[in-house]
Amino acid sequence: MSEITGIFHVLNGKLKHNIEFDDSFLRKPHYLYETFRTVNGIPLFIEDHLDRFEHTLRLSNIDIPYQKEEILMQVQMVIKENNLRTGNIKMVFLPGNNTGEFLFVIYITPHEYPTKEQYMVGVPVSLFNGTRDNPNVKLMDCALRSGAEQNKIEQNVYEALLVDKDGFITEGSRSNVFFIKNNRVITPPVECILPGITRKHVINLCKDLNISISEKKVHKNSIMTMDGAFISGTSRKVLPVNKVDKYSYPAINPITLSLQEGFDKKIK
């Protein structure tokens, strides 16, 4: 799959035709990035994404020569010039060398949204040994991503759940994970994961809907004690899990259904 779609992108503040797009940054071991969804031409939860992008830069001790307002204008330029209604936009920042050169590119990236059937019956996931070096930073770890993608192919699953050296499940390779037990929602603590934007809104939804939620570690050996699970993310929204490795969950859970409906209302 190509990294870019549409007709135009923005490179270092300037509108460029996609025939000029240089994807060599994909072969770098690490780069800073942010991906968000556009619905009806509106960048969804853009304030949250720009705040997280700023947080990532700060944790990485990197300065970027654009204010959030300037970045938002560039995002809106990509949306307008491509007449984008629905899709995903990706921002990538790659620091330069001592000369001060850098790469900051905003472009439409192909997306794969779950089907209606998957939202109804759920998806299978597998456990994969691996963690991010700095989980609170939105940094592309090409080796980890490649290993997780290979695991998904070999296990024929939708997503891979990362497991740390102590056997605790942290997050999905492209998502956050939630478990349900005794009508309570459990999700791994923020210090060991990438704090997803959808995750943040799901947690707030739980509070609004009076659904008990706690942030605590979940060991891989305890998955058989759970009543259900779901993953969340920019492209996935709230997606039920029907199987973790060989252990199956009922896809239809009242809590998951309530959160799916609540999140869709929040989007609207």
Which residues make Cβ contacts (< 8 Å) with residue 142, sequence separation at least 6?
A: 26, 28, 29, 30
Angle at 117 between CA 116 and CA 118, to 5 degrees: 90
Bridge partners (DSSP) of residue 142 are none
Q: Domain ranges for the chain, please list them.
A: 5-109, 116-267
Whether the pTM exceeds 0.75: the reply is yes
Q: May I ask the CATH class of domain 116-267?
A: alpha beta
**Residue 22 CB-density burial (10 A; 0-12 exposed, 13-18 middle, 19+ buried):** exposed
pLDDT in tens, 221-257: 999 999 999 999 999 999 999 999 999 998 789 999 9
Closest CA to 215 of 232, 191, 239: 191
Higher pLDDT, 97 or 170: 170
Higher pLDDT, 131 or 167: 167
184 Cβ neighbours under 8 A, 6+ residues apart: 211, 212, 213, 214
CA atoms within 13 A on the CB side of 190: 7
Q: What is the pLDDT of residues 199-226, one digit of tens each?
A: 999 999 999 999 999 999 999 999 999 9
CA-nearest of 256, 219, 260 to 241 is 256
Please, what is the average pLDDT of the chain?
91
pLDDT tens sequence across 62-91: 888 889 999 999 999 999 999 999 999 999
Please state which CATH class domain 5-109 belongs to.
alpha beta
